[in-house]
A and B are shown apart, each in its own frame.
Chain A
Amino acid sequence: MTLAFPSLRMAFRVWRRDLRVFSSLWKGALLPTFLDPVLYLLAMGFGLGAYIASINGIPYKDFIASGLVASAAMWATAFETTYNVHFRMTEYRLYDNVLSTPVEVEDLVLGEMAWACTRAVIYGTVFLIIVALFGLIHSPWAVVTPVFIVIGAACFAAIGLSFTTIVGKVDYFTYYYTLFVTPMFLFSGIFYPLDRLPQWTHVVAWFTPLYHLVLITRGLILGPHLLSVLGNTLWLVVVTAGLFSVPVIWMRKRLVP
């Protein structure tokens, strides 16, 4: 089996289809997704924040707001690359049609990744604006956050697509959330720093993408801590590049046997 570089032009065509669908759906069905991180910010930031004044000198609501920007991107990407991709691939057989046009599997994977990143950047940026309206942004570097959301989302997308193409059965998707997404959400330093937890938790966290994206968004919004931003970005880029061929190989196994 040979691995080819994807064609950007073909990937764009796949991305364009998802945008077409999103444009007609976002006002209705997809609106609640925008509210999720806001609810966390209100409940934890302003609720719990009334009891916890600050963390490492940062007001609590400011601390978690900067982390929730990262998780907003993660959640958007997770749903897109598991349930949505599964339905297109297996239930609607949409990819069978796409792959009988000049689009090849690697183009399709890149296009879907790009779309997942687009959704992440939409949800992440909308939340970032809300955070700004609450006056929780400390650094002008926050304006470049969307660029890093794309990088982090690409990593989440590569993992999500790998899971979806390998597992193949929608019944098992809850494992992805229970064993991966939710633990990352709770233990990646969004709600409290990992400083006082045992050393092994740091090691585990280091292997998860959300941990690195949280350090980036927090570094930009509260910082700037540019060296940390660069180091964590490197982690995300390397992991994404390393994983890209996984969904390509598995999708080809499933759709072009």
Chain B
Amino acid sequence: MNAVEGRRLYKTYGELVAVDHIDFDVRERECFGFLGPNGAGKTTTMKMIYGLAGVDEGELRVLGLDARKERRKVKSRLGVVPQEANLDWDLTVRENLVQQALYYGAQADGRIDELLALAQLGQRSASKPRELSGGMQRRLLIARALINQPELIVLDEPTTGLDPQARLAVWDLLDGLKDGGVTLILTTHYMEEAERICDRLAIMDQGKIVAYGSPGELRDRYGQPNLEGVFIEITGRGLRE
């Protein structure tokens, strides 16, 4: 069974076509990436998966469930790391995790300390999120996404805005999760990130999937040394133009 199946997915915001009839499968236990420039439709696709955007047309199955009709069930089995650090700024680091466990109705005794250790925030559990660095906030977001022991974790630009060292720490965290058997879906506009951690990926541009496969397959198919070259070959422009 695939973790996620999208068929002819379509979504508009008023006049703007955000996602234009895309098809993709995310296999269980793989790390799948949506790669593309800003405005390509990556975030909207992710939001449809985790229930923060409605599906206008097409079919979307997440963990075997219809994402439109069984949203509450789908959400209870997902973990979400959003692009914006939408932490609860009024609560401490520990309380953020305690409250998140409550939203899921999850038993969290003991697990909170485990997650704080995983995110290397054990010493900062009494701090407010504002007192943390950007890298620490991102690790807290990831720890928060793990509170319900999700089968699938959706990460929107997990390393954007982080310095190289903080990015490595996030990659290590993600590697550990994948080894633990969790399916990961992430968006990124960093080629090296996609090459480093994604098993397979979809390159998106203007709401469409323009290429789809493993990084190696894509490089071979388009005869390019890296994904940046693949993107330029397909669209005729750079990823960050």
Question: Measuring CB to CB, which residues of chain A are less than 8 angstroms from any residue of chain B?
Answer: 9, 13, 16-17, 20-21, 24-25, 92-94, 96-104, 255-257
Q: Are A92 and B103 in contact (CB under 8 A)?
A: no
Q: How far is the CA of A255 from the CA of B53 in the complex (A)?
A: 8
Q: Are B72 and A104 in contact (CB under 8 A)?
A: yes
Contact sample, A vs B, 21 pairs, CB 8 Å cutoff: A13-B103, A13-B105, A17-B88, A17-B102, A20-B95, A21-B90, A92-B89, A93-B86, A94-B86, A97-B80, A97-B82, A97-B88, A100-B50, A100-B75, A100-B80, A101-B148, A103-B103, A255-B52, A256-B51, A256-B54, A257-B53
Q: How far is the CA of A99 from the CA of B50 in the complex (A)?
A: 9
Q: Are A256 and B53 in contact (CB under 8 A)?
A: yes
Q: Are B75 and A20 in contact (CB under 8 A)?
A: no
Which one of B76, B78, B103, B105 contacts A98 once the chains associate, using CB atoms below 8 Å? B103
Q: Are B104 and A102 in contact (CB under 8 A)?
A: yes
B38 at the interface (CB under 8 A from A): no
Q: How far is the CA of A16 from the CA of B51 in the complex (A)?
A: 23
Q: Are B51 and A100 in contact (CB under 8 A)?
A: yes
Interface size on B, residues (CB 8 A): 30
B125 at the interface (CB under 8 A from A): no
Q: How far is the CA of A20 from the CA of B100 in the complex (A)?
A: 12
Q: Are A102 and B103 in contact (CB under 8 A)?
A: yes
Q: Mark B55-96, 1 if CB is under 8 A from A, else 0.
A: 000000000000000011101101010101011111100010
Q: Are A93 and B84 in contact (CB under 8 A)?
A: yes
Q: Mark B226-237, 1 if CB is under 8 A from A, else 0.
A: 000000000000
Q: How far is the CA of A256 from the CA of B48 in the complex (A)?
A: 9
- Closest A residue to B154 using CB positions: A100
Shortest CB distance B138–A (Å): 14
Q: How far is the CA of A103 from the CA of B84 in the complex (A)?
A: 19
Shortest CB distance A84–B (Å): 10
Residues of B within 8 A of A17 (CB): 88, 91, 99, 102
Q: How far is the CA of A25 from the CA of B128 in the complex (A)?
A: 14
Q: Are A100 and B99 in contact (CB under 8 A)?
A: no
A contact face: mostly helix, strand, loop, or mixed: helix
Question: Measuring CB to CB, which residues of chain B are less than 8 angstroms from any residue of chain A?
Answer: 13, 50-54, 71-73, 75-76, 78, 80, 82, 84, 86-91, 95, 99-100, 102-105, 144, 148
Residues of A within 8 A of B89 (CB): 92
- Closest B residue to A17 using CB positions: B99
Shortest CB distance A239–B (Å): 29
Residues of A within 8 A of B148 (CB): 101
| Contact (A20, B72) CB under 8 Å given A100-B50, A100-B78, A256-B53 | no
Residues of A within 8 A of B76 (CB): 101-102
Q: How far is the CA of A25 from the CA of B51 in the complex (A)?
A: 32
Which one of A13, A24, A101, A257 contacts B13 once the chains associate, using CB atoms below 8 Å? A257
Residues of A within 8 A of B80 (CB): 97, 100
Residues of A within 8 A of B86 (CB): 92-94, 96-97
* Residue of A13, A20, A21, A100 with highest tally of chain B CB at under 10 A: A100
Residues of B within 8 A of A96 (CB): 52, 82, 84, 86
Q: How far is the CA of A9 from the CA of B86 in the complex (A)?
A: 23
Q: How far is the CA of A77 from the CA of B120 in the complex (A)?
A: 40
Shortest CB distance A140–B (Å): 39
4 closest cross-chain pairs (CB), A and B:
A101-B103, A93-B86, A100-B80, A21-B90
Residues of A within 8 A of B50 (CB): 100
Q: How far is the CA of A252 from the CA of B99 in the complex (A)?
A: 22
Q: How far is the CA of A25 from the CA of B90 in the complex (A)?
A: 9
Residues of A within 8 A of B82 (CB): 93, 96-97, 100
- Closest B residue to A96 using CB positions: B86
- Closest B residue to A92 using CB positions: B89
Q: How far is the CA of A99 from the CA of B52 in the complex (A)?
A: 7
Q: Are A20 and B54 in contact (CB under 8 A)?
A: no
Shortest CB distance A147–B (Å): 27
Q: How far is the CA of A24 from the CA of B126 in the complex (A)?
A: 13
Q: Are A257 and B54 in contact (CB under 8 A)?
A: yes
Q: How far is the CA of A257 from the CA of B19 in the complex (A)?
A: 13
Shortest CB distance B4–A (Å): 15
- Closest B residue to A25 using CB positions: B90
